[in-house]
Amino acid sequence: MVENNLSPASITNTLGTSFVGQRVIYYPSLTSTMEVAKQEAQLGAVEGTVVIADEQTVGRGRIKRVWLSPKGSIALSIILYPSVVNLPYLIMLASLAVVHSIEAITGLRSQIKWPNDVLVNDRKVCGILIESSVRGNIVDYAIIGIGINVNLKLSDFPEIQSVATSLSDEQGRDVSRLRVIRRLLVEVERLYLALQAGGSIYEEWRDSLITLGRRVRVKSGKTVCEGIAESVARDGSLLLRHSDGNLSKIVAGDATLRD
């Protein structure tokens, strides 16, 4: 039986970070960790504050979708105050931190589907949502929301079973959420400090994308387009080659692999 205690002390004690995860606010059940993290950020919470819930009742996904977050999953939000220059890299940072943590704790190899879904064996195991408040060149705050399907039986969720998976389904046994969370917080801080020191995480993110070279359909607002995902720009945009040879730069959207 894998431990189930996500108390702030169990996360913070001997974590080894200097700020990410040094303050943890835990709820057994919450509407969405994004909501509480936003309130905390507006009140000036210390950088690296983590809001975590055992389950969310109104979990939020990208593009106004619902995110299922039952008990057994990880749902957390991390408050950061990056420079405006580093803001676009938070998507890359978060997905790479998840890929590294999953591999370190379970040995499972995962890939990133542009822009930031993490997949194991072609099914989604983690979703990431970044919300920020920016005024001109000033970032008031940025919140990284991470949801990982850890100990879920996807057969209990037939509505997403064909596209989603969980770490326990992939491993055939339960996985320690605590170990995944602690590793994740260490990875987030490490990559964030590297970014602040002028390091680049773009190349590793680009090379971890399962999307490049594949035929994809991208929904961006009300526009849907299809083509070959040729590359990604340094700002995270997708470069899509259409059948007529034209190239589009897509800043945000949802990609479906077509081949």
Stretch that binds ligand BTN, among 125-133, 199-207, 230-238, 243-251 (CB under 6 A): 125-133
One residue of 65, 71, 109, 173 binding ligand BTN per CB under 6 A: 65
Nearest to 115 by CA among 259, 246, 245, 212: 212
One residue of 17, 22, 49, 56 binding ligand BTN per CB under 6 A: 56
Nearest to 81 by CA among 125, 140, 133, 127: 140
Q: Residue 157 to residues 7, 53, 185: CA-CA distances in angstroms?
A: 27, 20, 28
Starting at the edge strand that comes first in sequence, how are the strands of the sheet with 24-30 ordered? 24-30, 50-56, 74-80, 138-148, 123-135, 117-120, 111-113
Position 34 contacts ligand BTN (CB under 6 A): yes
Position 147 contacts ligand BTN (CB under 6 A): yes
Position 21 contacts ligand BTN (CB under 6 A): no
Position 60 contacts ligand BTN (CB under 6 A): yes
Position 129 contacts ligand BTN (CB under 6 A): yes
| Site string (226-255) toward ligand BTN, x via CB under 6 A | ------------------------------
Position 33 contacts ligand BTN (CB under 6 A): yes
Beta strand ranges found along the chain (DSSP E):
24-30, 50-56, 74-80, 111-113, 117-120, 123-135, 138-148, 215-220, 223-232, 238-241, 247-250, 254-257
163 backbone φψ class: left, alpha, beta (φ>0; ψ -120 to 50)? alpha
Position 219 contacts ligand BTN (CB under 6 A): no
One residue of 21, 48, 115, 127 binding ligand BTN per CB under 6 A: 127
Contact set for ligand BTN, span 98-117 (CB under 6 A): 117
Residue number with CB closer to ligand BTN (121 or 198): 121
Phi, psi of 9 (to 5 degrees): -65, -40
Q: Work out whether the CA dihedral 5, 118, 252, 86 comes out positive or negative.
A: positive
One residue of 8, 61, 70, 88 binding ligand BTN per CB under 6 A: 61
Residue number with CB closer to ligand BTN (32 or 106): 32
> CA torsion, points 252, 58, 126, 168, in degrees to nearest 10?
-170
Write down the least CB distance from residue 259 to ligand BTN, Å. 22
Instruction: Give how many residues touch ligand BTN by CB under 6 A.
Output: 21
Q: Which amino acid would we find at residue 245?
A: G
Using CB under 6 A as the criterion, which residues of the chain lie in contact with ligand BTN when the complex forms? 32-34, 56, 59-62, 65, 67, 69, 75-77, 117, 127-129, 145-147
